[in-house]
Homo-oligomer: A and B are copies of this chain.
Amino acid sequence: MAISKRTKIKELLGSKEYGSTILAKGWVRTKRENKNVAFIALNDGSIIHNLQVVADPNEIPTETLDKITTGACISVEGKLVESQGKGQRVEVLASSIEVLGLADPEKFPLQPKRHSLEFLREIAHLRPRTNTFGAIYRVRHAMIFAVHRFFTDRGFLNIHTPIITGSDAEGAGEMFRVTTLDIEDLPKTEEGKVDFQNDFFGKETNLTVSGQLEGELAAMALSEIYTFGPTFRAENSNTTRHLAEFWMIEPEMAFYNLNESMDLAEDFLKYLVNYALTNCKDDLEFLNKRALDEEKNKKQEERNELSLLERLQFVADNDFERVSYTEAIDILRNSKPNKKKKFQFLIDAWGADLQSEHERFLVEKHFKKPVILFDYPSEIKAFYMRQNDDEKTVAAMDVLFPGIGEIIGGSQREERYDKLVQRMKAFNIEPDDMKWYLDTRIYGTAPHSGFGLGFERLMQFITGMGNIRDVIPFPRTPGNAEF
């Protein structure tokens, strides 16, 4: 009796309905066979583990079995039984197998052996069929959902801020131009410049670098909002931490001071880590093992003191250390690597911008836990950050994580019109170009704060992946816009 309803492998592996007839579909990971029996490891992406399909050559025609190679897609009907072998609790005794799609073993790039991450990046369209990327994308989904769950439970509203923006005032980085002008035949003004009046939006437009400013507009009416969308930096950075296109989460909260914003940031990160630990057990265990294997190739001093799972548990269990920038400078100035001139950038005076080496020292060596630095020199921070009474610092904060460095950056926003305009001028931003932003300071202004979390940085921390290109399905980097 043919059955028509497919059951996901995740469900089958958790089932105790021994003896029941089931239908499973998925992609073949491996096949081992002798003349009496064939064992097929089947995966459908619902879980990291494979379903073992046992095929008896007396039941399944040889011509079918021959087509079942790594990468082929098959549909299996059979009986769910307790497994007699090691490594799985249940397996399926196949009564019939249909081959839905072949995979020529001479050509299919994903053979059952270890492939380098670099190679897999080149076939990003096929890499979700590997254990590692299956695990990463399942964890990524769990983190997306956890973000929405966290904010929804607290009454925050998700606001979709614009991707194409006519505002170029933020200065957070190099931008991508967006245009519909015929680039081979550009319209020109009388002065010989490109005439943007005929461009789609009647002016120059770019891809957003942050939804913060528009997020603030919404927070100044709806109190607590968050954005979760793609942002863009046209920086020619070929590093393991930079993407040209990445996803950001930016909450903005009316009536929050910097301290309350730090509380929220800490709660948020702990929530996400706990959510992963609770909901992604199997995948994290796999990634933990994977990271340990990778560590073996590293020199002793480059290895993590803690395993991936231990690092996650550590963040979940410990309060973050809150340290002012001024205190941090004192610690760094008196630190061994500074005195022994081991830092590439030596710290000698207040006002220095902290480099990754300093952040990592504070987090990994000095405090040995996540650190929130706050009250940075106003010179090195953005125009919209609130000036402190000392007139030297702004109410900014960065959350620093082990291995990652800055994972969250935020601030209390300058809500005082005069001071904001004064800062804009100091940054050569024309206040008239940002009338809409200033209006919120003219009409019912309020103290408010916010921060940004780079979603892929979070994903690197949660999965232990060293290269940011491996935690987003289709990475965009200089020279790279495939698929």
Contact = CB atoms under 8 A, between A and B. Distances in A.
A297 interface: no
A103 interface: yes
B205 A481 contact: yes
A443 B108 contact: yes
Contacts of A473: 159-162, 214, 218
Interface stretch (A76-84, A176-184, A351-359, A395-403): A176-184
Interface in A249-283: 254-255
A69 to B, nearest CB: 9
A128 B222 contact: yes
A313 B180 CA distance: 42
Given A145-B148, A155-B46, A443 B483 contact: no
Interface string A62-103: 000000000111010000000000000000000000001111
A151 to B, nearest CB: 9
Interface in A147-189: 148, 152, 155, 157-167, 174, 176-181, 183-184, 186
B176 A176 contact: no
A145 B158 contact: yes
Interface in A429-462: 436-437, 439-447
B174 A184 contact: no
A405 interface: no
Given A202-B479, A223-B8, A480-B201, A445 B73 contact: yes
Interface in A190-222: 193-194, 200-203, 205, 207, 214, 217-218, 220-222
A222 B9 CA distance: 11
Contact of A144 (B72, B158, B176, B180): B158
A409 interface: no
B166 A482 contact: yes
A291 B475 CA distance: 44
A34 B25 CA distance: 74
Contact of A443 (B71, B141, B167): B71
A72 B444 contact: yes
A483 B223 contact: no
Contacts of A108: 443-444
B103 A134 contact: no
A200 B155 contact: no
A193 B229 CA distance: 35
Given A108-B443, A167-B483, A474 B8 contact: no
Nearest to A108: B443
A129 to B, nearest CB: 4
A44 interface: yes
Contacts of A75: 255
B481 A230 contact: no
Contacts of A333: none
Interface string A356-377: 0000000000000000000000
Contacts of A167: 483
Contacts of A100: 444-447
Contacts of A174: 180
Given A159-B137, A179-B176, A483-B217, A200 B101 contact: no
A43 to B, nearest CB: 9
B481 A164 contact: yes
A295 B370 CA distance: 57
Given A44-B223, A45-B223, A141-B159, 18 more contacts: A25-B223, A26-B223, A73-B444, A73-B445, A100-B446, A101-B444, A126-B221, A145-B152, A160-B247, A162-B474, A163-B207, A163-B245, A164-B245, A176-B179, A176-B180, A177-B177, A177-B180, A200-B244
Interface of A: 6, 8, 10, 25-28, 44-46, 71-73, 75, 100-104, 107-109, 125-126, 128-129, 134, 137-138, 140-141, 144-145, 148, 152, 155, 157-167, 174, 176-181, 183-184, 186, 193-194, 200-203, 205, 207, 214, 217-218, 220-224, 229-230, 232, 234, 236, 244-245, 247, 254-255, 415, 436-437, 439-447, 472-474, 476, 478-483
17 contacts: A25-B254, A25-B446, A107-B442, A125-B437, A126-B439, A145-B158, A160-B230, A162-B474, A163-B207, A163-B232, A164-B207, A176-B180, A178-B207, A200-B244, A201-B476, A218-B473, A229-B229
| The 9 residue pairs across chains A and B that have the minimum distance between CB atoms | A45-B222, A101-B445, A128-B221, A73-B444, A166-B481, A201-B481, A141-B157, A129-B221, A125-B436
